[in-house]
Amino acid sequence: MADSTAAGTARQATPREGRLAAHEQAVARLAASYRAIPAHVPVRLAKKTSNLFRARAKTDAPGLDVSGLTGVIDVDPDARTADVQGMCTYEDLVDATLPHGLAPLVVPQLKTITLGGAVTGLGIESTSFRNGLPHESVLEMDILTGSGEIVTARPEGEHADLFHGFPNSYGTLGYATRLRIALEEVDPAVALRHLRFHDLDELVATMGVIAETSQHDGTPVDYLDGVVFSATEAYLTLGTKSPLTGPTSDYTGMDVYYRSLQHDGPSPRTDLLATHDYLWRWDTDWFWCSRAFGAQNPWVRRFWPRRYRRSAFYWKLIALDHRFDVADRLEARKGRPPRERVVQDIEVPLGRTAEFLHWFLREVPIEPIWLCPVRSHDRWPLYPLRPGETYVNVGFWSSVPRDPADPGATNRLVEAEVTRLDGHKSLYSDAYYSEDEFWRLYGGDTYADLKRRYDPGSRLLDLYSKAVRRK
C-alpha cells in the first residue's frame, strides 16, 4: 500500500518554478522548430505582429515556434529585476511590473513591441536621456544562435562579444529566449509640463541642458521628449514622477494626446497622467498616424470602437494597404502619382540636431516630428553611439510624392544628410545604403567576426541582406 502521508506532504512546485518549467519546454520547442527548417530556407519567427516597416521577400516555409515565449517568468521587487521571455510584449511586461511600483528602464512607445525585438532591433523613449536604449538595461540573456546552440550572454565572460554585438543585429545572430533586465521605481503618476518654443535652436539648447542636469527651473525631470509642428511651433514635454493627487487626463477616448501639447502664451501647459497611461500615451493614436485613417475626426472617432484605438489595429490597416495598394489606387483616382513611404527614426548628435531639423523642414513635407534625446552608457558596435554624448532621435512617419525615376529618392536624401551630420538611422524601415557604406556605419568587421563565431554556416541572413536587400 502506498504511503499516502508521504505523497500528501510532497512539495508542490511554486508558481515561479512552474513558469520556469514551461519556459524550458518552450525553448526546447523553439530549438526543435529551428532544426526542422531546411538549410536553404530563410529563418523567420512565426508571430502575428511586427513593428517592421520594410517589406520582406515572401516565403511559405514554417517559422520558428515562439508560441510559449511570450510571458514574464519572474519579477523580483527586492533586486528590481525581471526575467522575461523574448517574445513578451511591453504591454504584458508593464502589467507585470507596475503592481510592484516598478517599470522597465525604457518602455518603447507601442504596446506590441517585444522585449527581444527592442533589444535586437533597438527602441527608445522619454527615459532614454537617463537610461539609454532598452538593451542597456539587460543584465544577461539566453540566445538561440545561428549554430543552433543556446548560450547565456553577459557583459563579461565567454559570450560578452555576443552580448555587446546583439543590439541592432535584427535576428541575424540569433534570437533572445530569456532576458534578465533591471527595473526602476516609478510613482503612481507623471506630472507633465509642455514648454512651447518659437525657435528650434533654443529648443535644442534647452533639451541639452535638461539632458545634462535632469532638471528645469529647479524641478526634477524624469521623462523628456518633444514634438515639432513647424519651424516656429515646437514643444518639449518634461515629465516628473508624481503621487496621484488629483484628476488625471485620459487620451484613449475623444481627446488626442499630441494635440494636448499645443498652446499659445509663455507659460507651460500642465497635465497629469497615471503612469500606466503616460507610458502608453502615444499608442492610442500611434503618435499622430491614426489621422491617416480618419480616426482623429471627431465624428469618426465617436464611433471607432475604443478597443481598436491602438497601434496594433492600425498595423493591420497598413498591412491591408501594402497587400492591395489601397493608398496608391486612391492617389491614382485623384490623378496623383504614387507616394514614397518615409518612415524613419534617426539619431544625430545634439550639436547637429537644429541643423538637421531646419534642413528637414525645408526639404521634406512631413509634420509633426518627434524628438527624443538619448545618452548611451557603453559601446555597442553595431549601433555606435559615443558613450556619454547626447544624441537626439528624430522620428518622422508619413509619405511624400514619389519620384518615378527614383522610388526611394527622399529616403536616400535623408540617409545622406544623416551620415553627413555624423548620425545613424534605425533599420526597422526602408534602407538604401551601398554595402560598403552600410558596413562602415553598422559594425563591419565586428559583425563579421560575430557571424563567423555564432552562425558559422550562415544559417541566418546577414544584416545587410535583411535591412537593405529586404530578404
Q: What is the pLDDT of residues 132-177, one digit of tens each?
A: 999 999 999 999 999 999 999 999 999 999 999 999 999 999 999 9
**Predicted confidence (pLDDT) per residue in 53-91, tens digit:** 555 556 666 678 898 999 999 999 999 999 999 999 999
Cell 510584449 locates to 89
How many angstroms separate the Cα of 349 from the Cα of each of 66, 238, 375, 390, 393? 37, 20, 10, 6, 9
Q: Which of 453, 449, 456, 441 is nearest to 464 (CA)?
A: 441
pLDDT value, residue 280: 98
pLDDT at residue 48 tops 70: no
How many angstroms separate the Cα of 226 from the Cα of each of 194, 284, 375? 9, 18, 16
pLDDT at residue 400 tops 90: yes
Give the DSSP H/E element, type plus range, for residue 440: helix 435-441
Average model confidence (pLDDT) across the chain: 93
pLDDT at residue 95 tops 60: yes
Where does the pLDDT of residue 13 fall: very low under 50, low under 70, confident under 90, or very high at 90 and above? confident
Euclidean distance between CA atoms 83 and 393, whole angstroms: 28
Euclidean distance between CA atoms 433 and 443, whole angstroms: 14
* Average pLDDT value for residue range 257-267: 95
**Winning range, highest mean pLDDT, from 39-43, 292-296, 323-327, 451-455:** 451-455
Cell 492610442 locates to 284
DSSP 37: S
Torsion angles phi and psi, residue 331, rounded to 5? -60, -40
* Average pLDDT value for residue range 289-298: 94
DSSP 403: B
Asked whether the beta carbons of 172 and 463 are under 8 A apart, the reply is: yes
